[in-house]
Amino acid sequence: MTDSLTQALPARAAALAADFDRELAAVEASRSGDRVEELRVAFLGRKGKVTALLEDLRNCSKEERPAAGRAINELKQHVEARVSALKEKAQEWELGARLNAEPLDISLPVTASVPRGSLHPVTLIRRELLNEFRRLGFTVYDGPEIDYDFYNFSALNMPSDHPARDMQDTFYVREQEHLLLRTHTSNIQIHCMLNERPPLRIVAPGRVFRVDSDPTHTPMFHQIEAFVVDRGITFAHMKGVIDAFMKAVFGSSMKTRLRPSFFPFVEPGAELDLQCVHCQGKGCRLCKHTGWLEVGGCGMIHPNVFEAVEYDSEVYSGFAFGFGIDRMAMLKYKLDDLRQLFEGSHSFLGHFPLFT
Ligand code: FA5
């Protein structure tokens, strides 16, 4: 009994392989995932046909066992490989069946409202200012936000003991190395003049930093610096440029005024005020009841600055101005607190256009 069984094992394995292939073809034709699983259980399950053959191996004689074991193992590997390939196919059959059952119309419009971003008001006004400067023939220049005392102060006619340094409370990065966060974009004047030769027509926007915080002051804010250096440049040229671009940005009815003022790097120096848009010059909390908002300083470049960059002040003259971009955004978009610009509130920022 034992002998006939064991002798029959390789032949039974071959017959089972043929059975399996037949059933596999039928399952494949049915395209049913459930039938794939039934096939697996029937052949490889605990009470499956291949498992039963493996159990019969125990009754096999020592001599016959290697050949019988090899035949059953080959059968088992064949069945496992086919079943696993069919399982993968079954996933595709299911996906296909689902897609056919619920067809998708990808041309249908989206019903849910998708929140859209917008440009930050400072970005909007900076773009507008730069477009106007480009139209007037200026070139855009960039400079470092972390800079040495030399560019931010000393070369701008503010030696270390100069009282004007108190006007700008400074964030020092490494005080011993004279490294600081620039307090104004005027540092770009020095970088540019040391690298280029006149004639120059430069505009330089950027972030600046000061120890400052109230409704019209923030510790980080944006300035736009512009300067022109050539033979025969006068204060009248400066006034003309400032007028042209303020009118372009705020409209021809915007009133401006220049007040004499002091900045160590210009002589003569002035401050530019724009009429307060909140109260139309009548006086309110925002303009501290003066009717005007200061947006920046300007003047003729000081001969000591030219000396620091080795330009001959007998040959060249120039003007420079630096304006607060955030202050201009505040006026343009009628904001009553500068700090709103930097709070990151979506409901506030969502009011501004997506593109210009
Ligand atoms: C300057 O920074 C000079 N560098 C401007 C200048 C350039 C003068 C070239 C002459 C020639 P001032 O410290 O006044 O100047 O700053 C210029 C403008 O920056 C101010 O009028 C104001 O509009 C803006 N500003 C100053 N501090 C702040 C602040 N903390 N927050 C927001 N805006 C500020």
pLDDT, tens digit, for every residue of 289-339?
A: 999 989 999 999 999 999 999 999 999 999 999 999 998 988 888 887 788
Pick from 175, 234, 181, 225: nearest CA to 204: 225
Q: What is the mean pLDDT of residues 44-53?
A: 92
Q: Pick from 129, 185, 186 the residue to mutate for probing ligand 1's pocket: most ligand atoms within 8 Å of its CB.
A: 186
pLDDT at 355: 55
Instruction: Identify the band that residue 168 occupies on the pLDDT scale cut at 50, 70 and 90.
Output: low
Query: Could you tell me the distance, in angstroms and rounded to a whole number, from the CA of residue 30 to the centre of ligand 1?
Result: 80
Task: Confirm if 319 and 99 have CB atoms less than 8 A apart.
Answer: no
Instruction: Dig out the tokens for 30 from the structure.
Output: 């049915």
DSSP letter for each residue of 70-138: HHHHHHHHHHHHHHHHHHHHHHHHHHHHHHHHS---TTSPP-SPPP-----HHHHHHHHHHHHHHHTT-
Pick from 104, 180, 169, 174: nearest CA to 145: 180
Atom in ligand 1 nearest the alpha carbon of residue 189:
9
Mean residue pLDDT of the chain comes to: 89
Query: Could you tell me the distance, in angstroms and rounded to a whole number, from the CA of residue 81 to the centre of ligand 1?
Result: 76
Instruction: Identify the band that residue 2 occupies on the pLDDT scale cut at 50, 70 and 90.
Output: very low
Q: Whose CA is nearest to atom 31 of ligand 1?
A: 217
Q: Which residues pair with 260 in a beta bridge?
A: 270
Question: In this predicted structure, which of 2-6, 63-67, 234-238, 348-352 has the lowest mean pLDDT?
Answer: 2-6
Q: What percentage of the chain has pLDDT greater than the value 70?
A: 96
Pick from 267, 266, 261, 263: nearest CA to 164: 263
Instruction: Dig out the tokens for 308 from the structure.
Output: 């620091």
Residues with CB under 6 A from ligand 1: 184, 186, 210, 212, 217-218, 221, 223, 225, 263, 266, 269, 294-299, 320-322, 324, 326-327, 338
Query: Could you tell me the distance, in angstroms and rounded to a whole number, from the CA of residue 46 to the centre of ligand 1?
Result: 84
Atom in ligand 1 nearest the alpha carbon of residue 327:
23
pLDDT at 202: 98
pLDDT digits (tens, 9 = 90+) for 198-255: 999 999 999 999 998 777 788 999 999 999 999 999 999 999 999 888 888 888 888 8
Task: Using the predicted structure, report yes or no on whether residue 344 has a pLDDT greater than 60.
Answer: yes
Distance CA 232, CA 237 (A): 10
Q: Whose CA is nearest to atom 15 of ligand 1?
A: 297
Query: Could you tell me the distance, in angstroms and rounded to a whole number, from the CA of residue 183 to the centre of ligand 1?
Result: 9
Q: Pick from 125, 126, 184 the residue to mutate for probing ligand 1's pocket: most ligand atoms within 8 Å of its CB.
A: 184
Atom in ligand 1 nearest the alpha carbon of residue 186:
4
Pick from 232, 228, 243, 221: nearest CA to 139: 228
pLDDT digits (tens, 9 = 90+) for 262-284: 999 999 999 999 988 778 889 98
Task: Using the predicted structure, report yes or no on whether residue 345 has a pLDDT greater than 90.
Answer: no
pLDDT at 254: 84
Q: Whose CA is nearest to atom 29 of ligand 1?
A: 217
Atom in ligand 1 nearest the alpha carbon of residue 184:
2
